[in-house]
Structure 1
Amino acid sequence: MAMMRLPSVLVIYILAAPLLPARGSEPSSTPVPSVDVTAASHLVSSGGHRYLDVRTEEEFKKGHVENSLNVPFLFFTPQGKEKNTKFVEQVALHYYKEDNIIVGCLSGVRSELASADLIAAGFKNVKNMEGGYTAWVENGLVVNKPQANDEL
């Protein structure tokens, strides 16, 4: 009996299939508007936008953008990163779907994912802050940091 040889493209697809995202977990096709930290700072300081920090509570407590609200998008657990399944619901407790929101995290990755989820949920004026809190600090913009005990 002769062996049938599969085309190499098909073999590659068969071998790569387990690496593809599961159905329903593809990233949103909705483009996420982004702004750099300088633009984000101006938008927030003008009073026209509110800042949503999607880092963990522990990260937020180490320092954050002034007058920001913290709603974690992910939790870091012993098992790894886990998505906050109530993220959109928790954000909706503090923001209207028409509010102007700047979303930030540490580097801009989580905030882009969080922004996409908010847009998909019907929030109309969401912008991801590129570079995140790290870029905010590197640009010398104002932050709230906890007071050290020896400074009290």
Structure 2
Amino acid sequence: MEVLPSLRRGISDEAVVTVDVHAAKGLLSVGHLYLDVRTTEEYKKGHVDNSLNVPYMFLTPQGRVTNPDFLEKVTSLCKKDDSIVVGCQTGVRSLKAAADLSKAGFQNVKNIGGGYVAWVENGFDVKKFEELR
């Protein structure tokens, strides 16, 4: 599994492990959870199958703001010892989300470098909202 250098830039004191999309796919195949932190609108356009969607940020007229209920919602869906791969559109929000989860006591969190864009570019399967009906 290739581990990419973290792009943290002062986001957190926690060390966040970032894995490439191929490693992330492998982790999912052995039971890791995929936490998609994109907005609901982004998620509906396409997402990794069997992923959980908890937006890390919301779009507002003032710009992006952090979801104040993010940690509470993730805690209601996941245990702190679950193995979780966190993804977003390109890997920036998921890096911040993974750092926050680590700081909150989640022990096995990895960020997916390149996010959903890299997933699609590599031809991996995705689900679209229309397919869920």
Do they superpose with TM above 0.5?
A: yes
- Tell me how far apart the structure 2 counterparts of residues 79 and 31 of structure 1 sit (CA, whole Å): 30
- Tell me how far apart the structure 2 counterparts of residues 115 and 87 of structure 1 sit (CA, whole Å): 11
1:53 positional shift: 0.1
User: Residue 11 of structure 2 aligns with which residue?
Assistant: 27
Give the number of the structure whose alpha-carbon radius of gyration is greater.
1
- Tell me how far apart the structure 1 counterparts of residues 24 and 46 of structure 2 sit (CA, whole Å): 17
User: Residue 145 of structure 1 aligns with which residue?
Assistant: 128
User: Residue 41 of structure 2 aligns with which residue?
Assistant: 58
- Tell me how far apart the structure 2 counterparts of residues 30 and 99 of structure 1 sit (CA, whole Å): 18
**SS at structure 1 position matched to 2:65:** strand
Unaligned runs of 5+ in 2: 1-9
1:29 positional shift: 1.1
1:27 positional shift: 2.3
**Aligned with residue 104 of structure 2, among 121, 127, 142:** 121
- Tell me how far apart the structure 2 counterparts of residues 46 and 123 of structure 1 sit (CA, whole Å): 19
**Aligned with residue 67 of structure 1, among 34, 43, 50:** 50
1:89 positional shift: 0.7
Unaligned runs of 5+ in 1: 1-25
**SS at structure 1 position matched to 2:64:** strand
Root-mean-square deviation (Å)? 1.2
The amino acid that maps onto 2:19 is V
Deviations 1:55-114 (A, max 9, x none): 000000000000000000000011111100111111000000000000000000000000
**SS at structure 1 position matched to 2:129:** coil
- Tell me how far apart the structure 2 counterparts of residues 146 and 117 of structure 1 sit (CA, whole Å): 28
User: Residue 76 of structure 1 aligns with which residue?
Assistant: 59
Deviating beyond 2 angstroms after TM superposition, the runs of 4 or more aligned structure 1 residues are none
User: Residue 39 of structure 1 aligns with which residue?
Assistant: 23
User: Residue 135 of structure 1 aligns with which residue?
Assistant: 118
- Tell me how far apart the structure 2 counterparts of residues 118 and 146 of structure 1 sit (CA, whole Å): 27
1:147 positional shift: 3.5
- Tell me how far apart the structure 2 counterparts of residues 57 and 145 of structure 1 sit (CA, whole Å): 12
**SS at structure 2 position matched to 1:65:** coil
- Tell me how far apart the structure 2 counterparts of residues 147 and 31 of structure 1 sit (CA, whole Å): 37
Corresponding pairs, count: 122
1:31 positional shift: 1.0
- Tell me how far apart the structure 2 counterparts of residues 79 and 41 of structure 1 sit (CA, whole Å): 35
